[in-house]
């Protein structure tokens, strides 16, 4: 996921050196708050209940609280807190929208979503690269900052992609 973040950052020439450093510090620890979440919820193979979903949603604020007390991560804490905000304001924990969401959080949101979709989970198999890219594109302007999506898509189209081969078993 951090590699995707770095690819996006490299594509966004308007970021300062300091912004880049804050975002790169936040990327590998963005889900730190999940250490306080029970494995019964994190590893649940089926659909989460509303209560379980609320428990999961606490990880962004909890991770920011932990990082906020560490001087080297003080600036990254705000990025971690807001990495589940949505461009349209329907995210959490604070319902921020548009440019009110820290740029680093907007970048991590795209990279983390792609990484999650293309990784196996206990509740589903990984989605293909092309399906995941289509989902990211579909979320542009609602879930994600369109500028970040555009940068991500440019990066991904410039990268060589493994050929997707179906799992064939001998008969």
CATH number at residue 10: 1.10.3210.10
pLDDT at 161: 53
Nearest in space to 154 (alpha carbons), one of 110, 112, 120, 113:
110
Whether residue 90 lies inside any domain: the answer is yes
Whether residue 21 lies inside any domain: the answer is yes
3-class DSSP assignment, residue 96 = coil
**pLDDT tens for each residue of the chain, 171 residues long:** 999 999 999 999 999 999 999 999 999 999 999 998 988 899 888 889 999 999 999 999 999 999 999 999 999 999 999 999 999 999 999 999 999 999 999 999 999 999 999 998 877 899 999 999 999 999 999 999 999 999 999 999 876 555 455 555 555
Whether residue 163 lies inside any domain: the answer is no
- 80, 26 in Cβ contact below 8 A? yes
3-class DSSP assignment, residue 124 = strand
pLDDT at 164: 52
pLDDT at 163: 43
Whether residue 97 lies inside any domain: the answer is yes
Which structural domain, as residue segments, surrounds residue 108?
2-158
pLDDT at 120: 87
- What is the torsion angle, in degrees rounded to the nearest 10, for the CA atoms of residue 113, residue 28, residue 43 and residue 70? -130
Whether residue 170 lies inside any domain: the answer is no
- 86, 142 in Cβ contact below 8 A? yes
Whether residue 168 lies inside any domain: the answer is no
Whether residue 166 lies inside any domain: the answer is no
pLDDT at 159: 63
CA distance to 125, 164, 165, 167, per residue, from 170 (Å): 21, 18, 14, 10
Q: How many domains does the chain have?
A: 1
């Amino acid at each position: 996921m951090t590699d995707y973040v770095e690819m996006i950052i490299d594509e966004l020439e308007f970021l300062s050196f300091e912004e880049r450093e804050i975002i790169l510090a936040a990327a590998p620890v963005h889900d730190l708050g999940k250490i306080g979440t029970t494995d019964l919820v994190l590893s649940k193979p089926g659909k989460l209940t509303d209560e379980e979903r609320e428990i999961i949603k606490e990880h962004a604020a909890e991770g920011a609280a932990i990082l906020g007390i560490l001087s080297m991560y003080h600036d990254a804490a705000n990025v971690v807190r807001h990495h589940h905000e949505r461009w349209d304001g329907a995210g959490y924990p604070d319902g921020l929208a548009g440019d009110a969401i820290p740029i680093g959080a907007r970048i991590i949101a795209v990279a983390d979503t792609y990484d999650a979709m293309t990784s196996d989970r206990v509740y589903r198999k990984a989605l293909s690269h092309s399906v995941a890219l289509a989902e990211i594109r579909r979320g542009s302007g609602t879930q994600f900052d369109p500028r970040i999506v555009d940068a991500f898509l440019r990066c991904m189209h410039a990268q060589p992609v493994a050929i997707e081969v179906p799992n064939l078993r001998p008969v």
